[in-house]
Amino acid sequence: MKAGGLGEPSRALTEWFAANRRELPWRVDAAGSGSVTEGTQGVVREGPSMGNPESADPAPRRDPYGTWISEIMLQQTQVATVMDYYRRWMARFPDVASLARAEESEVLEAWAGLGYYSRARNVLATARQVMADFGGRFPSGRDELLGLKGIGEYTAGAIASLAFNRPEPILDGNIVRVFSRLEGLDFLPDTKEGKRTYWDLARSWAESRDPALVNEGLMELGALVCTPRNPDCARCPLTRFCRAYAMGDQDRFPPARSRKDAVEVAGYAVAAFTGALEDRKVLLYTPKKPERLAGLLTFPVFAVSDLRSLREAWKSALPALAGAAIRPRTGMVTHSITHHRYRLRLVEAIIEEGCLPEDGPMPEGYAWEPAGDLDRILVSSLPRKIWKALAGQ
């Protein structure tokens, strides 16, 4: 497809998006009063009441604070889960000023269950930075946004384009897949050259009449129609521009990551229980960098090859629980996260009441949670799969 302009494809995409978009709580206009379904014709608009007079930022079409919070929550977490968290968050911290005033403990509590807690700490630091450096108004420029803690290329592009309708590119997994198929690209953006190609494409699309709708339309198309398996080309507004479709070879794009890049992690996931059946508690763990699964609230995982090594690793990680009865459960959970492929056998560790150091500190990252809360607080696929596999036995 010809780069630059992209008049016809971007028009087809935005018309499709306007008719098919999901109603999501963060997709409301800047006043919070309704859906953003139309562009601002001409990329940005100036506004006396919403814009920042000092930096001449354009008036936002959508609340930049809400856009930012939703984009950070959506990293590694499914839309359905984020919706509830987002609503509760906005009720508690409705704007950047209220967030900046909050204690870290309040912010972590509101984030509890979303995992990757460094994101929660970063949003608090960024809110305070926005108050201190920008008088409480989000900047709209990509460079200024990139100077804020925890905001990378993708989030900066999302805030600049979705909230301010600036012609800034965004590129996430959904958009990579759409571009790979549209252009018949048989490589991924994981080399310098590949990255440049994909970002150039993203830039071409964003330089349209309505960057916000185009960028969001690309994301939505990847999420709803141009899905990883069995893309629903019959519903796609871009079939006549799509090389993969013309070749009848959609599944070839994008190429799978080469197997040699994948790291196999074999081991055990431990579900440690204590307490009577009606108020059982389960031990969960949030690894820290540079551990694998850093930031993810999950069951403790030990990458060891047999039960004997597991018992040793367990005692060394949790000496206070060394007396746990560790018993294998049937079944295995397999799951891929980025380039790691997990193959985990399931193990149960029963800690008799009286052996539990109720008041003593647990090692950092470990916490007991009521079993009844797990469906709510486990938001990532791997721990959810483990929990489901255990519950089904």
**CB of 268 within 8 A of CB of 43?**
no
The verdict on whether omega for the bond into residue 60 sits within 30 degrees of 0, i.e. cis, is no
Using CB under 6 A, pick the residue from 13, 96, 242, 284 that binds ligand SF4: 242
Using CB under 6 A, pick the residue from 178, 206, 272, 349 that binds ligand SF4: 178
Taking CB under 6 A as the binding criterion, the range among 48-56, 205-213, 237-245, 262-270 that sits at the site for ligand SF4 is 237-245
Largest CA distance in the chain: 70
Residue 293 CB, nearest approach to ligand SF4 (Å): 31
Query: Which residues are tagged catalytic?
Result: 71
Within 10 angstroms of residue 94's Cβ, the number of other Cβ atoms is 14
Give the footprint of ligand SF4 on residues 151-170 (CB under 6 A): none
Give the footprint of ligand SF4 on residues 246-285 (CB under 6 A): 250
What's the Cα-to-Cα distance from 285 to each of 269, 282, 289, 371, rounded to whole Å? 11, 10, 13, 14
Residue 234 CB, nearest approach to ligand SF4 (Å): 9
Residue 19 CB, nearest approach to ligand SF4 (Å): 16
The verdict on 226 binding ligand SF4 (CB under 6 A) reads yes
Q: Residue 262: what residue type?
A: A
Q: What are the tokens at 373?
A: 């809360």
Using CB under 6 A, pick the residue from 73, 96, 162, 225 that binds ligand SF4: 225
Start-end of H helices in the chain: 7-20, 64-74, 79-92, 96-101, 104-111, 117-134, 142-146, 153-158, 173-183, 192-206, 211-224, 243-247, 307-317, 374-377, 381-391
Using CB under 6 A, pick the residue from 1, 125, 233, 332 that binds ligand SF4: 233
Taking CB under 6 A as the binding criterion, the range among 3-11, 103-111, 177-185, 276-284 that sits at the site for ligand SF4 is 177-185
Listing DSSP states for 35-88 in one string gives: B--S--SSS----TTTS-TTTTPPPPSB-HHHHHHHHHHHTTS-HHHHHHHHHH
Residue 323 CB, nearest approach to ligand SF4 (Å): 55
Q: Applying CB under 6 A, what is the total number of residues that bind ligand SF4?
A: 14
Using CB under 6 A, pick the residue from 115, 231, 295, 300 that binds ligand SF4: 231
Give the footprint of ligand SF4 on residues 318-357 (CB under 6 A): none
Residues found near ligand SF4 in the complex (CB under 6 A): 178, 181-182, 225-226, 231, 233, 236, 238-239, 242, 244-245, 250
